[in-house]
């Protein structure tokens, strides 16, 4: 069994760690909790890569199959690159089965209950476990998600949505006294 490890800091994308959902391509499929981790190109993910090599060796020994799916992708190589993310950023998906919801804490180790605190664009660390799989000729290594720690806030990714107080800035009345004129 592969060792659990703590990731370097990453920017989150597509956070689904409060409600398990089925894959978009298979709505009837197995529900999972998941999040994508966006590691800046200069991140030291050597421990993660070493853990993947160990998972491969544990599963297949010296008979490593060809065309293994590995958990590391460059944003530019994704079918749907993450908007607002550098092309050379390293993307990994972390997931947990529906019956294994990950723990979620803040930087002070306090449980995060408010789902709005966990969003695409905030920075996190995760406790993960690499595992090798071999299902219907689909072979590779993935990362199981155990726990998540929010490190800090940052600009939201991808949605282009701005806070409501910014959206309506230009519509603020100088005073509410004008409302009295309507009743006259």
* CATH code of residue 99: 2.40.50.140
Mean pLDDT of 39-51: 96
Q: 0.85 exceeded by the pTM?
A: no
The domain of 143 spans 5-158
d(CA 20, CA 18): 7
In a domain, 24, yes or no: yes
Give yes or no for residue 159 having a pLDDT over 70: no
Mean pLDDT of 79-90: 92
Give yes or no for a contact between 107 and 151, defined as CB atoms under 8 angstroms apart: yes
d(CA 14, CA 37): 9
In a domain, 147, yes or no: yes
3-state helix, strand, coil in the chain (%, to 5): 20, 35, 45
Give yes or no for a contact between 103 and 145, defined as CB atoms under 8 angstroms apart: no
pLDDT higher at 20 or 178: 20
In a domain, 74, yes or no: yes
Mean pLDDT of 66-87: 92
pLDDT higher at 145 or 80: 145
């Amino acid at each position: 069994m592969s060792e659990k490890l703590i990731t370097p800091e990453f920017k989150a994308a597509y956070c689904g760690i409060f409600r398990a959902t089925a894959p978009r391509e298979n709505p009837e499929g197995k529900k999972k909790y998941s999040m994508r981790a966006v590691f800046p190109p200069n991140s030291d993910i050597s421990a993660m890569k070493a853990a993947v090599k160990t998972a491969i060796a544990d599963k297949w020994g010296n008979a490593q199959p060809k065309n293994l799916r590995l958990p590391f992708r460059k944003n530019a190589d994704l079918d749907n690159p993450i908007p607002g993310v550098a092309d050379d950023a390293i993307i990994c998906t972390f997931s947990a089965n529906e019956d294994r919801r990950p723990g979620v804490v803040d930087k002070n180790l306090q449980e995060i209950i408010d789902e709005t605190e966990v969003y695409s664009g905030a920075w996190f660390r995760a406790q993960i476990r690499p595992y090798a799989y071999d299902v219907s000729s689909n072979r590779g290594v993935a990362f199981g998600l155990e726990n998540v720690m929010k490190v800090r806030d940052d600009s939201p990714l991808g949605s282009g949505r701005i806070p409501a107080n910014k959206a309506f800035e230009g519509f603020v009345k100088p005073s509410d006294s004008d409302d009295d004129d309507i009743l006259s």
